């Protein structure tokens, strides 16, 4: 009655079908700028990491690690720096400002300071951190990446830089990259500082000046005229500086500096050491390398693709004043960062990247009937105890499927447990890659 008279109840159905709202489609993509690592991707990553770790061990470096989440203040001590603008930062539930690390070196500095002088110098440490930066993505640049960091603390001389450069070259050679593929440009913060001083540029304007000069590779001088005037730089000074910074030999730039130039002397020593390491064909002087002049204090270097198709492969240098910026004691330090994205692109371009389709499984073991599964597990256990990588077929499958599965994952052998073999205390082993065929083996002989 109420429904018919409209009193207080639910309205009667109109006869029209109500359209159900479609549930929002589940997005299966990882967040923009990040990656999933499926098993083949993990095999590639592990292969790369293993090479990095092997080279670090060859050069006597010890591995360390730190939290991926750090106090935001670790990266915002210098406002206006590019890294500050690119932070993944937020306030945690304890109302603390935190950030995902954009680079590893500040964490290293924090760890060294935490020991309050208790670490024996020199330190030769390496790490393989995942770093996060919210930046524009290009080929070889993502918002997260893994990075090989190698650092030497406590060595004042360029012996540290030479050791780092040699380690970098050793890695390249291990993975099939030659000096025809990659070069390493070397410059010095000290040399650039001396050049700027000779031109009358005050030290507090060094970094800003170099940023502008770096822009001249992309825009004409007229486009930055206002910026130059803001810094008090004349067109003549900038043109002289530009000319100087196109120098590609030490002798060229040395001619514009005093004969007792410390920066030139250091670079000459570094190149002599590179010759002793046998890496002279990899390194070249290039005055245009001005990366991180507000950060680096001595030699700076950058590994580059000689074809010019990829962005910088790796970079580093000397940063003696880092610990002081955190209130610590002056400590000489040098290091480099080597990202995983660009090197993989380079290896693909040069066609020297291995394939990672094979799972690494050496043998597949399966029971032809369910009641023999225990026998299959026993056989697999014995093989595993011998150090083999073994995949047990965990459910009932046809023999044809098992052989296809073994072939798909790249296994070399298929171990079959059948009724006849079990009664004889044997298994049947089929060689899937060689010419051994199929043979019966006693179970106790497996291990």
pLDDT for the residue numbered 192 = 84
Check: CB of residue 117 under 8 Å from CB of residue 107.
no
Check: CB of residue 286 under 8 Å from CB of residue 248.
yes
DSSP type of residue 276: H
Token pair for residue 31? 């967040």
- Tokens 């700028």, residue? 33
pLDDT for the residue numbered 141 = 77
| CA separation for the pair 447, 443 (Å, rounded) | 8
Choose among 123, 180, 161: nearest CA to 316: 161
Check: CB of residue 163 under 8 Å from CB of residue 59.
yes
Beta bridge partners of 333: 153
Choose among 40, 301, 347: nearest CA to 171: 347
Question: pTM to 2 decimals?
Answer: 0.87
pLDDT for the residue numbered 257 = 85
Run means of pLDDT, 10 residues per run, the chain, 447 residues: 42 58 84 93 97 98 98 77 83 96 95 92 97 84 93 97 98 97 94 86 80 72 78 81 80 86 94 98 90 79 94 94 90 96 95 92 96 96 96 95 95 95 95 88 90
Q: Which residues contact 40 (CB under 8 A, 6 or more apart)?
A: 356, 357
């Amino acid at each position: 009655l109420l429904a018919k008279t409209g009193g207080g109840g639910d309205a009667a159905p109109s006869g029209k079908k109500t359209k159900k709202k479609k549930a929002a489609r589940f997005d299966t993509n990882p967040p923009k700028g990040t990656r999933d690592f499926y098993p083949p991707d993990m095999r590639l990553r592990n292969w790369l990491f293993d090479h990095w770790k092997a080279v670090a061990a060859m050069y006597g470096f010890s591995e360390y690690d730190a939290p991926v989440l750090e106090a935001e203040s670790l990266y915002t001590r210098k406002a206006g720096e590019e890294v500050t603008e690119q932070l993944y930062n937020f306030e945690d539930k304890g109302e603390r400002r935190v950030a995902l690390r954009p680079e590893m070196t500040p964490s290293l500095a924090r760890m060294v300071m935490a020991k309050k002088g208790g670490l024996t110098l020199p330190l030769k440490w390496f790490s393989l951190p995942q770093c996060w930066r919210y930046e524009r993505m290009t080929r070889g640049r993502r918002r997260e990446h893994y990075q090989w960091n190698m650092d030497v603390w406590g060595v004042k001389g360029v012996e540290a830089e030479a050791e780092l450069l040699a380690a970098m070259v050793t890695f390249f050679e291990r993975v099939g990259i030659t000096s025809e593929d990659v070069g390493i440009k070397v410059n010095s913060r000290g040399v650039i500082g001396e050049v700027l001083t000779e031109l009358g540029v005050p030290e507090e304007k060094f970094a800003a000046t170099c940023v502008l000069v770096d822009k001249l590779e992309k825009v004409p001088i007229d486009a930055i005229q206002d910026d130059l005037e803001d810094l008090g730089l004349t067109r003549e000074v900038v043109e002289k500086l530009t000319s100087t910074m196109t120098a590609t030999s030490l002798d060229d730039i040395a001619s514009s500096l005093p004969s007792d130039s410390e920066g030139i002397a250091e670079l000459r020593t570094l190149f002599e050491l590179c010759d002793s390491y046998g890496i002279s064909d990899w390194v070249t002087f290039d005055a245009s390398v001005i990366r991180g002049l507000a950060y680096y204090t001595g030699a700076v270097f950058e590994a580059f693709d000689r074809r010019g198709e990829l962005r910088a492969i790796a970079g580093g240098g000397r940063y003696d004043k880092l610990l002081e910026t955190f209130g610590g004691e002056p400590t000489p330090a040098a290091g480099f960062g080597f990202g995983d994205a660009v090197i993989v692109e380079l290896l693909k371009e040069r066609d020297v990247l291995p394939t990672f389709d094979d799972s690494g499984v050496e043998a597949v073991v399966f029971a032809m009937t369910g009641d023999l599964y225990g026998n299959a597990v026993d056989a697999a256990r014995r093989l595993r105890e011998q150090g083999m990588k073994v995949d047990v077929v965990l459910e009932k499958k046809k023999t044809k499927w098992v052989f296809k599965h073994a072939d798909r994952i790249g296994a070399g052998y298929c171990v079959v447990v059948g009724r006849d073999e079990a009664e004889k205390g044997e298994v049947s082993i089929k060689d899937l890659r060689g010419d051994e065929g199929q043979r019966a083996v006693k179970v106790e002989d497996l291990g």
